[in-house]
Every structure is written in C-alpha cells, then in structure tokens.
C-alpha cells in the first residue's frame, strides 16, 4: 500500500516533464509546445476588441478591498470597449473577469496546469488552460494593450518584471503598466529607486514605464489614453 506521503505527491505537470527530460522524444515535446502556442494564438484571435491584461493574487477572496477594486476595474474597462484578460483563476483574476462580465464586455481567462488544480473561474467567455507558462505568458502580452497589476505573490511579480523587460528591450512598445494600490507597491518602488536606479542598474526612463494608482478609473485612463492620442 502506498504511503500517505506518496499519495500526497502532486502529479507532474507538462512543464516539469519537459524541463526534467534530458533525453527522449524531443520532437514530441517540441510538437506539444508548438501546438499550445497555436491554440493560444487562435484564442487571442477570437478577442474582437482591444484588451487589457489584469494580474493579481489568486489568494485574495471576495469582499477584500482589492477584490472589489478589481471588479470595478474590470467593469470600467468593459464599459470603454476593452476585453479583460486574466489568468482565469480565483482571487483578483476572478474579480476582474466578473467586472468585465458585469460591464457587458468580453472576459478572457488563460489558466495554467498546476500540481494542485487551479479551477477556472465561472465568468469567462473565452477560456484556455495552458501546460506551459512561457506559452501562456506570451498570450497575456499578445492579447493586450497594457497591464494592470494588483497585489500578488511570486507569479504576479514574474509577470510584472517580464513585461517591464520586454518594454525595456524594445520587444513591445507603447505598453502601459499600472500598479494598483500604492501602499502595496511603495516599498518595492522605493527599493527600485534607491538600489537599482542609485546603483545605475536601471535608468530614469525605465522607472517611467510604471504608473501607480488607487483608483480604478485612473487605471483605465492610464491604459487607454496613449491609444487615443
């Protein structure tokens, strides 16, 4: 009989299998990744309007001020004719998709296979679950005209800094990045100014890639205003 520890071991994800495989059927792995990119591109092509990608923690539950703000932000974008793209899961993702649905917009969720299942939230018009983080993150950028980043953990920070890197290196242009809830981000921004800027590791222009707000309507304006110049 298997031990309790063995029973609790999460099933390996496709990402893990690919990264741990040193030999074997390389062509099969490459074909699976290519197929996933194709499905992602096809899903993005179904979005019939400009879009914003909204990130944030899966652990922030209904009733939390950040959840309520994400609902309002998603609703406000929908009313401006934008689709709302999220990671498709619970928390901030669910809130933004709920807001998009309430605002009469298009609600999109790009979920991810995890060792412990993350169910898609029930407010999605277009939904796709990815096996590979890199394919999924490409679709977040490809679909969107900008990002709004609510408080979150490692995954949210990964998505934020990847977006900033793509902008800084010219891979994407005219791409607003809005940080939501000033009190959450001010420590990170202070460290960025003191350490990264102070030590010459980033430039003043790099810091200008970011804006910070506590207001859903201001977050919407920061994303859509450059498109209307």
Q: What domains can be seen in the chain, in order of their start residue? A: 4-228 (3.40.50.450)
pLDDT tens for residues 134-150?
Answer: 999 999 999 999 999 99
What 3-state DSSP class applies to 149?
strand
Burial class (CB in 10 A: 0-12, 13-18, 19+), 67: buried
**Of 78, 143, 147, 71, residue with least CA distance to 107:** 78
Check whether 213 has a pLDDT greater than 60: yes
CA distance 38 to 44: 10
Mean pLDDT of 167-178: 91
Check whether 42 has a pLDDT greater than 90: yes
Report the chain's terminal Cα–Cα distance, integer Å: 67
pLDDT tier at 188, thresholds 50, 70, 90:
very high
pLDDT tier at 226, thresholds 50, 70, 90:
confident
Q: Which two tokens stand for residue 197?
A: 């800027």
pLDDT tier at 8, thresholds 50, 70, 90:
low
């Amino acid at each position: 009989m298997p031990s309790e520890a063995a029973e609790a071991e999460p099933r390996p994800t496709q990402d893990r299998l690919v990264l741990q495989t040193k030999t074997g059927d390389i062509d099969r792995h490459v074909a699976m990744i290519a197929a996933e990119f194709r499905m992602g591109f096809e899903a993005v092509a179904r979005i019939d309007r400009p879009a914003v990608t909204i990130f944030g923690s899966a652990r922030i539950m209904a009733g939390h001020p950040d959840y309520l703000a994400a609902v309002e932000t998603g609703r406000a974008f929908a009313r401006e004719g934008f689709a709302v793209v999220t990671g498709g899961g619970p928390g901030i993702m669910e809130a933004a998709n709920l807001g998009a649905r309430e605002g009469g917009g298009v609600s999109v969720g790009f979920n991810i296979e995890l060792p412990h299942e993350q169910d898609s939230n029930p407010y999605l018009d277009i939904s796709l679950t990815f096996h590979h983080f890199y394919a999924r993150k490409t679709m977040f950028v490809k679909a969107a005209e900008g990002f709004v980043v609510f408080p979150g953990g490692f995954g949210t920070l990964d998505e934020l800094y990847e977006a900033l890197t793509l902008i800084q290196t010219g891979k994407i242009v005219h791409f607003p990045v809005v940080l939501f809830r000033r009190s959450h981000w001010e420590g990170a921004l202070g460290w960025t100014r003191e350490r990264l800027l102070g030590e010459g590791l980033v430039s003043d222009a790099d810091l200008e890639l970011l804006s910070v707000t506590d207001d859903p309507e201001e977050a919407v304006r920061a994303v859509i205003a450059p498109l209307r110049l």
